[in-house]
Chain A
Amino acid sequence: MISEILILLGSLFFLIASIGLWRLPDAFARLHAGTKAASLGVLLLLLAAALRFHDAGSLMMVGATLLLVFVTAPLGGHAIARRLAAREAIRPMKSGSAARGRPGA
């Protein structure tokens, strides 16, 4: 019962990520939607699978997938954001430059 509720919530977060891909105004904002909401959806779906399947092999597979997704999803998003910042000619704020305001503004 509770695993079905978790599956429903996870699918809902995937749908929210897709809607954010259409609705958000900027490529950086769309990257934000596509990475974070999808990570939460994967977390909820894999928690549901861990509650349903009790043997050691599937629990290990759920843990490995969860670890891999939560390590690699920010890395992929960071790779996209770096190329995007290079394309839009946005310089990231250096440490200590906050007192001078945003660079390039």
Chain B
Amino acid sequence: MRTGVIQESYGELISLFRNPTQTYWTWALAIISLAAPLVLTGHVTSLVNGMMIAAVGVIGLNLLTGTTGLISFGHAGFLAVGGYTAAILSADYGMPLWLCLPAGGLMAAAFGLLVGIPSLRLKGLYLAITTLAFTIIITHIILSAESITHGSAGISTPRPAIFGLELATDKSFYYLILAILTLAVLGSANIKRSRIGRAFLAIREQDIAARAMGIPVARYKLYAFVVSSFYAGVAGALMAYHIRFVNVDSFSLILSIEAVSMIIVGGLGSTAGAVIGVVFVLGLAEVLNYVINLTGGSLGSLSALELKGFIYGLTIVLFLRFEPDGLMGIYREYKNRWINWPFRY
């Protein structure tokens, strides 16, 4: 009978892979991910690309909201900053992708620092409203600064190319996004097992207690905002290359709300949960679309389309109501049952 995995040193406690099983599964996932475009159709690859880009941004949000406990409804704004930065630099200044991606992240991080300042005094709903306002302000700035952002007309971005190699198809772009997602996952996992990550957790649990423990709360809250918005900025830049067009309609407030629902569905505070949440929420929409198309005739039946929205919303609500620990909570519960069987604990 398995008795669980016992960590016997600090090194083991903070190691990236806790046990050999985890290592094997990670390798299996890596191989599947690398081989996926060989078997997936172009359309499905494009959907997966969209999911992976969303996952980069949601991992960032998870660090801020899930790990540090600072709620943000402003991530559509950071996404827009990253997307517009990449689009302007690539379309108007002919800058290469390898410069535009980090530039998008850095510009969003700079805005993250700005938005983070109110977080030093605000919490909960008050912070949520402040970050929500940020998205509205960014939209307004984009529409007003027409000479830079092309206003409401939006910007068409060139085909992604890296070091002279054009990523003409979704399958070729897939590998670049996969590489960035891997970096994002590793970055998040490393932050969480570092001193910074422990400080984030302490702030989430009780910021007054964290301060009493000697954690410079203000500095770490700003760290969280900067890191999180950097992730969102990179995701926005990738989105600009993926869709090859940006305008304010691409960064509506609903994106921020969807992102928060993704981390809740996946499991707050968990990097894997953030990725699973993205796959669940975006995948659910696609599965419903597929089922409705199968059953609804050529027009997809107008009433069936409305039903799709209802089912989609209901699933999310039920999840939030009955499984607040998200999909990762369900996974942990079943894993523990398996390990401890026949005992309860």
Chain A partners chain B: no
Which residues of A are interface residues toward B (Cβ below 8 A)?
none
Chain B residues proximal to chain A, CB less than 8 Å: none
